[in-house]
Amino acid sequence: MKKTIIAITSAFMFLATSAMSMDLRPSVGLSANLGVYAATGTEKNYNYTGTTVDTTIDEYGAFATEYGSVFIELGLTDAISLGLDYVPQALETPSNTSRDGAAANTVEAHFEDLTTLYAKINVPLGGTYLKLGYSQVEVISKENMSSGSSYGNDTSSGPTVGLGYDHELTEGFSVRAEVTASEFGDVRANNGKTDKNEIVVKDMIGARGTISLVKSF
């Protein structure tokens, strides 16, 4: 996925450079975000043959976190811009500990390289805009298993929608305030053993409030 992000970012930088000569108005921005994310997780413990589920544990979890992000946009018309938003830091869930007899297994997840490709659509309400996009994130498992095994990693993606307000300042600067909501696809991981533990994370949703400083060229 990191190669994909690098390729997309490089393409946007090239387009932004070209846009300045084509009079398309590129913009860059820095954002402060407060995000709330939630999901339902199911843990299945199989027997020694790996074919029968001995136990199933269902849990719902949610967490809130603060983080920064950066973005670049190309103004295609006065009403429509195409943008790419990237979160450089990992979003870490609280750790969860389950017990199998006297043994304790601790698992948490890091959401890394959260990237959103979007269209920003201005509406005739004095600085108000809509945002329609598609987000992708790398889900990295961090665990301390009594068996010494580990879960794998996975990638999840889904649609993002938002509503915001853009207030123009001077010399090409502006300040934005927006809220967005995202939905992500299911994630599956197991410890790779015959008597395996399997985790399925589903119903992944997220919402974030964002304040951004933008520079348009």
Average model confidence (pLDDT) for the chain? 82
63-87 average pLDDT score: 94
3-state secondary structure the chain: CHHHHHHHHHHHHHHHHHHHHHCCCEEEEEEEEEEEEEEEEEEEEECCCCCCEEEEEEEEEEEEEEEEEEEEEEECCCCEEEEEEEECCCEECCCEEEEECCEEEEEEEEEEEEEEEEEEEECCCCCEEEEEEEEEEEEEEEEECCCCCCCCCEEEEEEEEEEEEEEECCCCEEEEEEEEEEEECCEEEECCCCCCEEEEEEEEEEEEEEEEEEEEC
154: tokens are 């996975």
Domains along the sequence of the chain with CATH: 2-216 (2.40.160.20)
85-104 average pLDDT score: 76
Give 59's pLDDT tier (boundaries 50, 70, 90): confident
137-143 average pLDDT score: 83
Give 134's pLDDT tier (boundaries 50, 70, 90): very high
Residue 166: predicted pLDDT: 97
Residue 158: predicted pLDDT: 96
Per-residue pLDDT tens digits for 115-126: 999 999 999 888
- Report the candidate in 155, 157, 153, 156 with the shortest Cα–Cα distance to residue 190: 153
Residue 180: predicted pLDDT: 98
Per-residue pLDDT tens digits for 169-208: 999 999 999 999 999 999 887 766 555 677 788 889 999 9
Q: Which residues contact 148 (CB under 8 A, 6 or more apart)?
A: none
**How many angstroms separate the CA atoms of 215 and 217, rounded?**
7
